[in-house]
Structure 1
Amino acid sequence: MKALFISLSLLFTCSSIFGQTVITGKISDQKGVGISGANVFIKGTYDGVSSDENGNFRFETTETGNQTVTFQALGFKVQEKETICSGQPMTFQITLSESIQVLTAVTITAGAMEASDVKKAVVLKPVDIVTTSGAMGDITAALLTLPGTSTVGNDGRLFVRGGDASETSIFIDGLQVGNAYGSTATNVPTRNRFSPNLFKGSFFSTGGYSAEYGQALSSALALNTLDMPLRNQGDLSIMSLGGGYTQTLVGKRNALTASGNYYNLAPYQSLISQKFDWEKSPVSWDTEVSLKQKWGKAGFIKAYAHTEGSLMAIWQAVPGEAGRGNRVQINNRYSYGNLSFRQVEKNDWSFYGGLAYSHNRDAVNLNYEPIRQINQVGHAKLVAVKDFSSQLSLKNGVEWYLKAYSEELVDDKLRRNIFDNQLIYFVEADYYFSNKLIFRGGLRNGYSTIAKQYWLDPRASLAYKINDQGQFSIAAGRFHQLPDEKLRVLQNNLKNAEASHYIFNYFIVSNNRTLRAEAFYKTYENLATYSGTDRAPVNISQEGSGYARGADVFYRDKKTFRNTDFWVTYSFINSKRKYSTYKTKVQPSFAPEHNGSVVVKHFISSLKSQLGTSWSWNSGYTFNDPNLSGEMQSKTKAYSDLSFSWSYLPRPNMILHIACSNILGRNNVFGYTYASQPDETGAFSRIPEGQGATRMLFAGLFITLSKDKNANQLNNL
């Protein structure tokens, strides 16, 4: 019996010994360097070990039969090997490939400034826009504190890197917006039509942008609307210029927001002295409706409609002539709507796109002669994105544009119009060589039915990340844009103007500090030139050309000073072009050589207040003085505007906001209007083009009505 027990014990011991499998090996990266701390284990068991400092490992397992050995390390793709454990020793030589991590991988930054909830490199969020003093809640005015832009105070639109405002296209949820700025008279600044409260983020490109965006020689501004609001709430606005109300209703899978606003500048302008000679101060109203609907498991649909109307009448003095001058009345009606969707499908496919349409009608009365201008823009878009791996993503898109414009002398019953269809296809690929190196290449091609022209635009970007020391990016591309419809209606066969962009960028975000520096060079060809005036062009041709080159720096800091957020911007732009009525290559009036801004926001918790100030400056605007030889040979004094704002929360659901622009009362001049003929002394008299009022004052009380008594209008931004 004792002998039997000994025999069974020996048999059990031997089977245990011979049933153990010894697993050894080494784990290396793609360069052959051993990976320390990598985990090696039998899948579904506790058997495993971590690699040593040289990447070597050794462990034993009693598992038998078919098994899966897993190899994993932080920052690398997991690798698995199928094997049979039979008691025989096994050795593995494993090479792990680097995994692409969204939060740590390099991103394309050349020419691009993004602000959204999913981007770590945020530049300006909507809350930044509404709290920037001097911007007065205008999206465009806030963007003018960013690098690459120029402040043109008597216009109000976006001028980017030596380009005219018409060279910037604006998109909402990927769909183009026609006539994104309110209609106004010459030398009376306008505003963006849309409230920053609509948007969750933006992509503002100063050049070298994606093949997804076209018909813009200088810049693309893509605004993305909010997905789902946080709660049911009503927002009441009482302002020195008017008032409005917004109601938001939120369900489990859908949401509805509706708003209405009314503005009348007459009471304000009766209190604040105006340099403009108003017959009727601007009056406007707007309404909008926004619908959000979750679709299936991973889809989303948005519908948005905006309509507005405005009326103004102004007398504008004519140099060398007595009296009030020319009378300009503008009655504007504008509507914009879009329907957009996005859908994530199986096998790493995703789709997005939609439809958009805008209609702008200006009933202009020039010295009591009625003129009607109608501009229509339609846009349809469908994009498919396929992620083939964590390294490669491919985007394909098709677009159709409708561009229609008509103008009519009502009394004479004379009318001319233009109707153009543009068909577009674009393709773009992102390839991550590693977490440190990404390449983006794309092609955009299109065809215009009225110009009878086909074009092809190649674009490419490359970015390299230097560990935690920031990253470098380069970008190059070609861009086309058809001339303004007001020129094309006079001469239908005008072709595309062309620009080429070359950009070098350095970008770093660290510890709530952002530094962005960029150098650029841009060339222009086939720009439209003509004789006469901008209002009455004749002899239109496309003999214009030019260039813009320079550099800009942006620094933002939320860390150095407690409860303080500030940013500093400087841009140098050297631009010359033969364009419009210019006969030679000259520095255009809308491209000051030096531009700068400083924005500071400081929160004082004990006072429940945020104090803000901003200073914008440029080196002056060129203008043409017919009393001197040459062209665009004169320059105004430097432009400067120091603004202040105060936001106070008397209650959590109530915001009192007060702002004042140009608090120092500087008399900024943007240029001069000269008489068409010399006076008896042989000199051309002139009138300065300046600000309508030395300062702009704004006061607003914003009240949120909700079950959540701590909710206010900033919560959704």
Structure 2
Amino acid sequence: MRARWLITLMLTSTLSARGVAAQEAPAAASLEPDFEECTAAAAEGRKDRMEAAAARLEAAASAMEAERPADALVVRARVRSQCLIPFAPYMRKAALLEESNALLEQALQIDPRHLLARFMLGMNHYHSPTFLGRTGAAVQALEQLLADHGDRDHRVVALAYLYLGELYERQGRLSLALQTWRRGAARFPDDPALREKIGKLALEADADSIAPSRPPSAPPEDARYTLAPIVVHGSTYSVDDPRAATRLSQQEVFTLPGGTADIFQTFQTLPGVTRVAGDGGDLYVRGGDPAETPIYVDGARLFHPGRFETLTGSIFGVLDPGAMRAAHFSSGGFSARYGNALSGVVALETDRRPLERRGRANLSIASLGGTLWQPLGDRAGFWATTMLTHTGLLLKTHGRTDEYPEAPTSHQLMVGVAVEPRRGWEISASALSEADETAALVSATGYEGTFTSDAATRLVTTQVRAETPDGRGLVRLTFGASERESRFRFGVLARDREDRALDARLDGELRRERVTFRAGLEGALLDAWTDGIIPASDQLAPGSPAVHLDGETDQAHHVGGYTEVEWRALDRLAIVAGLRADELPGEDRVTFDPRLAAAYKVGDWTFRLGGGLFSQGRWRTRYVLPDGGSPAGVPRRAQHLVAGFQHDGTPALRVEGYVKRYDDYVAEAGNVVTGPPINAGYAAGVDVLVRPQAVGPLHGWLTYSYLKAELELEDGVRVPSHYDVTHSLTAVAKLSVGASELGFTARYATGRPFTPILGSQPLAPGQPPAPIYGPLHSGRHPAYFRLDGRLTQLLPFFGGGVLIAFVEALNLLDRDNVTMYTYDAAYQNRRPVPNFFGDRIFLVGVEARL
């Protein structure tokens, strides 16, 4: 490391600004010998010495966590940066640095003025390579540190002056660098490094007056490769917000074997997400339908997040992970902030204001794209990302062109702009435009033909965010406009639909020493237009009974509000109580949803309990084919009870059990219903996440979900739910050696239920026969298993950039997984329909980051 700034932390404590003068010396005396041991072990290559010291530091962090949670997080961050990173393989260093950054950000959420947390975060960014564009983030962190602590007589403050000046110098802002060093020297007149910088830059300034100006300096040569984190919350409970978190990074999204760099495919590896549709990207959360887990982008609800929609859902998502700053995934018992949702919530946040110019370009066998981040002066900036996908070459090289009369294609554009008129204020806007076309040979319910889908998604959001100077108060105002167009053609089906929505919401948060208050209001106007022909029965062949739609329109609205209080009742106990009230889309009544959660922490272990009521309106946008063998109905209310425990540190472990009850079912509007009506639904299960300790260059994680889901029909009969996938298991393993990484993902799921067809019965002359169904959901699809692999190689690129080359293999074992069963026209012979990745597929690509 160019400047051994971590060693200088021996002069400081792990304590926050509050009470630092009285307490920092004892803390330094007790912890610094172990940090010194890590530094010495790195110099000597003694991993055993480092591991022993790191274990003692982790134990010390656990001991102080109840009384000083922010300090404990900083200790853990230092363990990753100072102890673990020197011994980690190159690719693993990135993940460790992200973990360190995440811990520091959590510490700053608890104490926004934490001196050491702010300094370490700035220095982590300082040492990041040029192509990541983290210089601006480092400047922001150190500027904030000096704004909070610039008048203190503390060694870390002197270092902040020193490194902030170097950052300005890197940006070519020489006068500001000189001014910063002079301010630091005035505050610390005996600091030789600051005096040296002033003298050196003054001489260079004289030389520059007669010579060409020099380019901004690059970051240290040994800068680490990393990617900004995407934070993914599982059941959202942690001791400070009693909501536990599963954390994934952008690097894991981009490099997950079999994830195809897709956010929603990556979500499939999380506990609580059931693999119902095989290779699809739709989220079936804890026994719920995808419509029960809404997707928000910058606070605005997205109608449909997928591309290449088929009769069983979408394959990929419409969002580029390179433009995503954070992704919060709640799988149950979620905050009262979210309404009109029964199973889960995905809240995605796009990038904020770019602080420096950077870009990336990517090319693969199926896509071409790029992203640009560009600052506009000192207080504004914009970003834009685009992606063109054409699967023709991919299908041709894999011999599958006969399955697709026309190769599926899509194009996507996302742009964002942000302005910070003053510190603590931000005004931002983002826009998404996506269109895709699919044409595939499909067989379903006794008919085989070409299914075509043309779809478009558009979304515009505007957000105003204001934060108090001490970081303890926040107000956010969001406006959104969204639109979804879809055209389906298959047999008798010829349906066109347009959905539009305008929504607005206001959220506020106020944090005090032990209590945090949250409240908000939201409203939405929705309308839909539907035209064409839809089947009136299970028959899909041309000439089958049909319902003709003539430009039918429908409108709905949503008005809601919430209040929530988070109370740190004891040092080890946190409680969150909330209440929502809503008039939901399609409903003419007001619902009240109380929610309660608690967390208790003992050392590295956290125990949680939560639950409440959750309501959702009957308004739906997704089309479902008539199916007499599938129970029908839309639930409008769910009761959640969630209990679990979590172990922080290594190994990381989270176990969570849940019980859900659905009721208040109604018929789904806009779809022809032929199946028996549902009266109530039940789901219970256990989700497990394990991140074991890395074994040398080998690391990874494992998730497991057990689910039992049932439906109670109106006649009192109980049958398995559509989504009753009993066991789901995902294992990810990565081997990092130098700048190379080889990874594998194994996915297993027991088969989901289906209703077998026993034969057929004739209908009117000239019409195809109707199926005769067996007992409801008495059959099971075969178990799903898929093994994927990925080889990633990082190569230095000119200008401080990096070239990322990869080869990804999907379905390595060439297993024929089944997505559904279809029949001949007489319903006498059944055959399986394979998943989208039913054959082995190889993807080759390269990405340049500058």
TM-score (norm 1): 0.75
Q: How far has the Cα of 1:689 moved from its partner?
A: 4.5
Cα drift, residue 217 of structure 1:
0.9
Distance 1:149 1:369, change over 3 A: closer
The one-letter amino acid paired with 2:747 is: S
- Equivalent residue number for residue 261 of structure 1: 387
1:423-473 per-position Cα deviation (integer Å, ceiling 9, x unaligned): 00100010111221111000111114742121111001000011x231101
**Paired position in structure 2 for 1:602:** 735
**d(CA) in 2 for partners of 1:378, 1:703:** 38
Query: 1:577 and 2:711 equivalent?
Result: yes
Q: Which residue of 2 aligns with 1:711?
A: none
Q: Which residue of 2 aligns with 1:27?
A: none
SS at the partner of 2:777? coil
Render the CA deviation track for 1:132-191: whole Å, top value 9, x for unaligned. Answer: 111111111111111111122153201111111111111123332221122512146421
> Would the aligned equivalents of 2:519 and 2:563 in 1 still touch at CA under 8 Å?
yes
User: Distance between the aligned counterparts of 1:110 and 1:282, measured in 2?
Assistant: 33
1:485 counterpart SS class: coil
Q: What residue in structure 2 maps to residue 521 of structure 1? A: 659
TM-score (norm 2): 0.64
SS class of match (1:268): helix
In structure 2, the CA distance between the partners of 1:448 and 1:621, relative to structure 1 (3 Å rule), is closer
**Cα distance in structure 2, aligned partners of 1:368 and 1:537:** 14
Amino acid at match of 1:639: Y
Whole-Å separation in 1 of the counterparts to 2:702 and 2:432: 34
- What's the secondary structure of 2:595's corresponding residue? strand
Give secondary structure in 2 for the equivalent of 1:527.
coil
Q: Do residues 357 (structure 1) and 481 (structure 2) align?
A: yes
Amino acid of the structure 1 residue aligned with 2:615: H
CA 1:110–1:168: 2 relative to 1, 3 Å = closer
Secondary structure of the 1:112 match is coil
CA contact (8 A) 1:275 1:691 kept: no
Contact 2:819 2:832 in 1 (8 A): no
Q: Is the 8 A contact 2:233 2:330 kept in 1?
A: no
Q: CA deviation at 1:585?
A: 3.2
Match of 1:173 among 298, 306, 329: 298
Partners of 2:237 and 2:265 lie apart in 1 by 16
Following TM superposition, by how much is the alpha carbon of 1:113 offset from its aligned partner in structure 2, in angstroms?
Answer: 7.3
- Look up the match of 1:231: 356
More strand by share: 1
CA separation of 1:487 and 1:169: change in aligned 2, threshold 3 A? closer
Deviation sequence 1:84-140 (CA, Å, 0-9, x none): xxxxxxxxxxxxxxx999379xxx9882279xxxx9965212221111111111111
CA deviation digits over 1:185-234, x for unaligned, max 9? Answer: 21464211101112222221110000001111111111222334453123
Out of 371, 374, 377, the residue aligned to residue 498 of structure 2 is 374
Superposition deviation, residue 413 in structure 1: 7.4
Bigger-Rg structure (1/2): 1
Aligned length: 591
Are residues 294 and 406 of structure 1, via their aligned partners in 2, closer, same or farther at CA, if it must alter by over 3 Å?
same
Aligned-residue offset at 1:320: 5.2
2:316 alignment partner in structure 1: 191
Which residue pairs with 1:28 in the alignment?
A: none
Q: Residue 426 of structure 2: SS of its match in structure 1?
A: strand
- For residues 523 and 237 of structure 1, do their structure 2 counterparts lie closer, same or farther at Cα, with a shift above 3 Å needed? same
Report if aligned partners of 2:817, 2:838 keep a CA contact under 8 Å in 1: no
Query: Deviation string for 1:378-424 (max 9, x for gaps)?
Result: 3211012223x311111110000222222112997712121111100
Q: Which residue of 2 aligns with 1:252?
A: 378
Aligned to 1:383: 507
Distance apart, 1:75 and its partner CA: 4.3
Amino acid at match of 1:414: D
Counterpart for residue 392 of structure 1: 515
Aligned equivalents of 2:421 and 2:271: distance in 1? Answer: 39
Rounded Cα–Cα distance in structure 1 between residues aligned with 2:708 and 2:808: 33
Q: 1:591 aligns with which of 720, 724, 730?
A: 724
Residue of structure 2 equivalent to 1:650: 795
Written as runs of structure 1 = structure 2, the 5 A alignment for 1:678-717 is: 678=827, 683=828, 685-691=830-836, 693-705=838-850
1:621 and 2:752 aligned: yes
Please, which runs of 5 or more residues in structure 2 have no aligned partner?
1-18, 27-65, 70-106, 113-231, 535-547, 626-632, 759-772
SS in 1 for 2:260: coil
Partner of 2:812: 663
CA separation in 2, counterparts of 1:120 and 1:292? Answer: 30
In structure 2, what is the Cα distance between the partners aligned to 1:368 and 1:694? 30
Corresponding position of 1:640: 785
CA contact (8 A) 1:145 1:597 kept: yes
Alpha-carbon distance in structure 1 between the residues aligned to 2:623 and 2:369: 39
Deviation at 1:301, TM superposition (A): 2.2
Amino acid at match of 1:654: L
Cα deviation for residue 540 of structure 1 reads 9.3
What aligned pairs does 1:398-417 form with structure 2 within 5 A after superposition? 398-409=521-532, 414-417=550-553
Residues of 2 paired with 1:496 and 1:291: CA distance? Answer: 39
Are the equivalent residues in 1 in contact too, given 2:526–2:555 (CA < 8 A)? Answer: yes
* 2:268 equivalent to 1:137: no
Are residue 456 (structure 1) and residue 592 (structure 2) matched? yes
Residues 403/582 of structure 1: CA separation in 2 closer, same or farther (3 Å cut): farther
1:499 aligns to what?
638
1:245, CA displacement in angstroms? 2.3
C-alpha offsets along residues 633-674 of structure 1, whole Å, 9 cap, x if unaligned?
111221111110011113242110211111011111133134
The one-letter amino acid paired with 2:636 is A
Aligned equivalents of 1:546, 1:457: Cα separation in 2: 19
CA contact (8 A) 1:427 1:442 kept: yes
Report Cα offsets for 1:53-75 as digits up to 9, x if no partner.
Answer: xxxxxxxxxxxxxxxxxxxxx94
Q: Distance in 2 between matches of 1:525 and 1:343?
A: 40
Aligned to 1:341, the other structure's residue is in SS state strand
Cα deviations across residues 3-29 of structure 1 (Å, max 9, x unaligned)?
Answer: xxxxxxxxxxxxxxxxxxxxxxxxxxx
Q: How far off its partner does 1:484 sit?
A: 4.3
Question: What amino acid is aligned across from residue 698 of structure 1 in structure 2?
Answer: L
Amino acid at match of 2:606: Q
Separation in 2 of the partners of 1:633 and 1:120? 37
Partner-residue secondary structure (3-state), 2:420: strand
Q: 1:577 aligns to what SS in structure 2?
A: strand
Question: Taking structure 1 as reference, are residues 489 and 120 closer, same or farther at Cα in structure 2, changes over 3 Å only?
Answer: closer
Cα distance change of structure 1 residues 479 and 564 upon mapping to structure 2, 3 Å threshold: same
Contact residue 529 and residue 578 of structure 1 kept, 8 A: no
Residue of structure 2 in register with 1:567 after alignment:
701
Gapped runs of 5+ residues in structure 1? Answer: 1-42, 51-73, 78-98, 706-717
Q: 1:540 to 1:655 in 2, by over 3 A?
A: same
> What is aligned with 1:53?
none
* Contact residue 711 and residue 719 of structure 2 kept, 8 A: yes
SS at match of 1:267: helix
Give secondary structure in 2 for the equivalent of 1:591: coil
2:211 maps to what in 1?
A: none
**Following the alignment from structure 2 to structure 1, what is the Cα–Cα distance between the partners of residues 585 and 654?**
41
Alignment correspondent of 2:583: 447
Q: Matches of 1:266 and 1:583 in 2, distance apart? A: 51
Distance 2:444 2:567 in 1: 59
Describe the superposition over 1:263-309 as per-residue Cα deviations: whole angstroms up to 9, x where unpaired: 11112111213397311111111112111222312112221111021
Q: Quote the Cα distance in structure 2 between the aligned partners of 1:474 and 1:120.
A: 11
Amino acid at match of 1:537: V
Of 292, 298, 303, the residue aligned with 2:424 is 298
**Larger relative contact order (C-alpha < 8 A, sep ≥ 6)?**
1
Distance 1:455 1:280, change over 3 A: same
Contact 1:508 1:516 in 2 (8 A): yes
Partner of 1:480: 615
Matched ranges for 1:188-227 at <5 A: 189-227=314-352
TM-superposed CA distance for 1:677, in Å, is 5.0
Looking at structure 2, the residues matched to 461 and 404 of structure 1 have their Cα atoms a distance apart, in angstroms, of 35
Equivalent position SS for 1:317: strand
After superposing the two structures, state which structure 1 stretch, 412-421 or 360-369, moved more: 360-369
Deviates more, 1:365-374 or 1:654-663: 365-374
SS in 2 for 1:273: coil
